[in-house]
Structure 1
Amino acid sequence: MDLDVPTNHPGALIFWAYIAAALGFTGVVLKTIRQSYLQNGRPKIPQFLIILAVSSFATLSYHMLSVLILSYRQWTSLHAIPLGALIGSNRTPLHLWRWSTTSSLFQGFGEAIVANKFRWFLSSSGLWSTLAVAIYMGIEGRRCKVPNLWAFFALLEILPTSFTQSLFYIMLFTKPRSANSNDQLLSYWPFWYSVPLLYNYCLRSASEYADDGEWLIYTILAARLLLILPLVLPLNSLGSLPPGTKSNTLQQVANLPLATFTMAIQFFAQKSGDLDVWENTSSLLLEALNSHPAVKTLSYDLGHAVVAFFYWSLRREKVELVHDVTAEVIEDEPAAKRKSANKKRR
C-alpha cells in the first residue's frame, strides 16, 4: 500500500518503543516491590492500594487504547483505506506500521487536550498532579532509600500519574521502619522552587501553541523532562532523628513550603484560565471530559491520584505505628526468653 504522504519512521519507532518501555519499566518496578516485600518479612500491604493500582492501570489502558483506535479510524477515513478487522467473516489486515509512520499520534494527543480552555483545565490539572508526585517521590524515595527509584521516575515519565503513585505507596509499605531506626531528615535546595515555575511556564506555553503542533510537542516534552529534576536535584541532610521519632510527620513539615509554593503556582495558573465558575462551568467541564479519550485519560487518572493521596495521608501514620509496636515486641522476645530460662533454673 503506497500513500503519497510524508513518513516518519523515527516517530513510529519512538511510539512502539514507548509501549515496550512502559511494559518493561512496569516489570522492573513490580520486581523491585516483590524483592523488598520478601526481604522485609512480608509486611502487610493494604488491599485498597493494590485494587487502586489495578483500577488505574485498567482505566489507563482502556482510554489510551481508545485514543489509538480513534487515531486509526481517523487515519483510515482520511486516506480512504478499509478499516480492517482481525476477527469475523470479513477479516482484513490492519495497517498498523503504515499508520504509525504516517500519522501524528503524539501531536494529535497534544492538540486534543489543548483544543479549548475546558479541556485544558482538566488535562493540566492531571499534569500538575504528576509534578506533585514527582517531587514527593524525589524526596521521600531518597529518604527511605527506595531501590531502583529511577524506574519509578521512568514509569512516571511514560504513563500518567496514579499508576506509578500507587505502586510507590505500595513500595513504601514494604519498607517498614522500626522504633530503633534512625531516619534522615532531608531539606531541599532553593533551586527546587524553580521546578514548579519552569513547569508552569511549559504548560502555559503549551496552551499558546495549540495551533502549532510542532512547538506544542516540544513544550509538552520539555514539561515531561522537568519531572526528572526531583530525582537528581541535591538534598541536604539535617541529620538523623532520634529513635522512635515520627519522621514522616517532621518530613512533611519540612516539605511544607515547597508544597505550598507548588500549589500556589498551580492555583494561579488555573485561575488565569478565565473559567467562570458561575455560568454552566460544570456542564461544560463534563462535556469537555467526554469529548475526547485523551482528556478522559488525564482526568480519570487525576481522580485516581487524588484518592490514592488521601488514602496514603490517612493510612501511613497508622501503619508506621503498627510496625513500631511490632518491632518493640520482637525486641522484647529475647528478654522474655531469658526471664523464663532463669525461672526454670531456680
Structure 2
Amino acid sequence: MADVALENPPIHYRSIFLFLFYLSLILSLAFTCCRTIYVRYQARQKNNDWATGRRTHLWLFIFLAAMSLGSTWYYMISLFIRTYDDWAASPQGIPYAGKDTPLITRLGLWLYNTYIFQTAWETVSETPARVWWSGQIFGWTIGWSLFLGVMGRRYRIPHIWVFMLLAQAVAVSFSANLFFAAVAVSSRVDEKTLAFAWSPPLLYEAVPVALSLLDTLAVPIFAYQKEFMLILLAPHFLVFIPTLLGPGPKDSSEPTTKAQGARATRRYVVLMQWVAAASVVLQAYFTFLARRELGTELSFGEFARKLWDTVYVHPACSSVSWDAIMSAVSAFFWALVHGFDSRRMVGGL
C-alpha cells in the first residue's frame, strides 16, 4: 500500500482551491477599493469641486500604496517560495518534489502539508527582536480601525470594512493608503449631516481597542502552542467592530448641530491620542524585551543595527517589518498634508 501511495500521491484540490480563493479574494477586495476611488475621482473631475490640495494628495497616496504593495508582497512571494522549498526538502516532500510528479500534485501536497500563514506569524513572533517589528502592525491596525470608522462615516465611503479586510489579507499600509486616496477624492464633509456628528457609545469602541491591545501582548507568548491561532485571530476580528458602527434609523431623527460635530471630533482626537500613547507604551515594552535579548551592553547604534538585521532573517519577518515601516511613512504623510493638525486629520474641518 505504501508503494502505491508513493506512486500515486493524492491531489489535494481543496488546499489548492483555498489558496486560489485567497488570491482571488485579494483581487476582489483591491478592485472594490480602487473602484470607489475611481468613481469618486470621476465625480470630482466632472463637478470640478476638488478640495484644496486633494488632487495632489490622491497621487501621493496612490504612489505610497504602490510602494507598500511592492515592499511587502515581494517578500510574501518569497515566503511562498521558501515554504515550498522547505517542503520539497522535507521527508514528506522529497519523494514528490521531482519533475516526475505533476505540478498540480506538488502544489496540492505543499499547501496541504504547510500551514503557511500560521508558520509565518509564529516566525515573526518567535523572538523579542522580531516582535519589536510585528507588534507595531497590531498597534497600527488597532488605531486605524477607529480612524476607518469615523472617516468612513464622515466621508460616506461605502463598505469600509472592505478596507480592513484588505489590510489583513494583503498589508495594512497598502490598504491604509488606498483609504487615504479614497478620502482625497471624496466630496467635502458636510458638518450639518448626522454622519459628521454621530458617534457610538464609548464602550463599543473602547472595549475592542483595549482587548486588542492586551491580545497583542499575548501573541508572542503563545507562539508554537495550540492556542496560538485563536490568540492571533482575536484582534483580527475585534478591529472590525469600529468599522461596522453607524447611526441607526432612530438616531437619524435627532437634529444635529455644529457644536455636536465639534464634540465628536474632540472625542476622536482624544481617543486616538490615548490609543497612540498605549501603543508607545507597548512598543517601549517590546524594546525592553528586545534590548534584553540582544544585549543591554550594546550601544544605541549597535542595537538599532541588530534590529534592522532582524528584518531580513526570514521572508515573513521582511514582509511584516516593511508593512510596519510603510505604515509609519504613510501616517507621517497623512499628518504632513494636514499640517499635523489632529482635528483636520480626523475630518473635523
Q: Counterpart amino acid of 1:182?
A: K
What is the SS of the residue equivalent to 2:45? coil
1:241 to 246, 250, 258: 258
* RMSD across aligned positions (CA): 3.4
- Could you tell me which runs of 5 or more consecutive residues in structure 1 were left unpaired when the two chains were aligned: 322-346
1:56 to 43, 68, 71: 68
Q: Which residue of 1 aligns with 2:211?
A: 198
- Correspondence 1:270 to 2:283: yes
How has the CA–CA distance of structure 1 residues 15 and 219 changed in structure 2, closer, same or farther, with 3 Å as cutoff?
farther
Q: Which residue of 2 aligns with 1:219?
A: 231
Rounded to whole Å, the distance in 2 between the matches of 1:190 and 1:158 is 28
Rounded to whole Å, the distance in 2 between the matches of 1:52 and 1:232 is 26
Q: Which residue of 2 aligns with 1:209?
A: 222
Q: Which residue of 1 aligns with 2:118?
A: 107
How has the CA–CA distance of structure 1 residues 275 and 137 changed in structure 2, closer, same or farther, with 3 Å as cutoff?
same
Maintained 8 Å contact 2:209/2:239: no
The percent identity for this pair of structures is 20
Maintained 8 Å contact 1:134/1:227: yes
Q: Counterpart amino acid of 1:93?
A: L
What is the SS of the residue equivalent to 1:177? coil
Tell me the CA shift for residue 67 of structure 1: 0.8
How has the CA–CA distance of structure 1 residues 82 and 275 changed in structure 2, closer, same or farther, with 3 Å as cutoff?
same
State the Cα deviation string for residues 189-221 of structure 1 (Å, max 9, x = none). 221222222112222221111231x32122111
Q: Which residue of 2 aligns with 1:288?
A: 310
Between 225-234 and 139-148, report the one with greater CA deviation.
225-234
Maintained 8 Å contact 1:134/1:153: yes
Maintained 8 Å contact 1:29/1:152: yes
1:302 to 300, 324, 332: 324
Q: Which residue of 1 aligns with 2:103?
A: 93
Rounded to whole Å, the distance in 2 between the matches of 1:96 and 1:229 is 36
Q: Which residue of 2 aligns with 1:122?
A: 133
Rounded to whole Å, the distance in 2 between the matches of 1:157 and 1:6 is 31
- Correspondence 1:155 to 2:166: yes
Rounded to whole Å, the distance in 2 between the matches of 1:137 and 1:126 is 16
Question: Could you state the TM-score of these two structures normalised by the residue count of structure 1?
Answer: 0.78
What is the SS of the residue equivalent to 1:291? coil
- Correspondence 1:26 to 2:36: no
Tell me the CA shift for residue 109 of structure 1: 0.6
Rounded to whole Å, the distance in 1 between the matches of 2:141 and 2:112 is 29
Q: Counterpart amino acid of 1:21?
A: L
What is the SS of the residue equivalent to 2:199? strand
Rounded to whole Å, the distance in 2 between the matches of 1:290 and 1:165 is 24
Maintained 8 Å contact 2:155/2:187: no
State the Cα deviation string for residues 25-75 of structure 1 (Å, max 9, x = none). 101111111111112335425322111111111222211101111111100
Rounded to whole Å, the distance in 1 between the matches of 2:73 and 2:98 is 22
What is the SS of the residue equivalent to 1:41? helix
Maintained 8 Å contact 1:110/1:217: no
How has the CA–CA distance of structure 1 residues 61 and 81 changed in structure 2, closer, same or farther, with 3 Å as cutoff?
farther
Maintained 8 Å contact 2:311/2:317: yes
Between 126-135 and 37-46, report the one with greater CA deviation.
37-46
Question: Could you state the TM-score of these two structures normalised by the residue count of structure 2?
Answer: 0.77
Rounded to whole Å, the distance in 1 between the matches of 2:317 and 2:239 is 20
Rounded to whole Å, the distance in 2 between the matches of 1:8 and 1:216 is 25
Aligned residues: 309
How has the CA–CA distance of structure 1 residues 19 and 271 changed in structure 2, closer, same or farther, with 3 Å as cutoff?
same
- Could you tell me which runs of 5 or more consecutive residues in structure 2 were left unpaired when the two chains were aligned: 345-349
Tell me the CA shift for residue 23 of structure 1: 0.9
Q: Counterpart amino acid of 2:167?
A: L
Tell me the CA shift for residue 80 of structure 1: 1.6
Rounded to whole Å, the distance in 2 between the matches of 1:32 and 1:92 is 41
How has the CA–CA distance of structure 1 residues 61 and 228 changed in structure 2, closer, same or farther, with 3 Å as cutoff?
same
Between 158-167 and 15-24, report the one with greater CA deviation.
15-24
Maintained 8 Å contact 2:124/2:134: yes
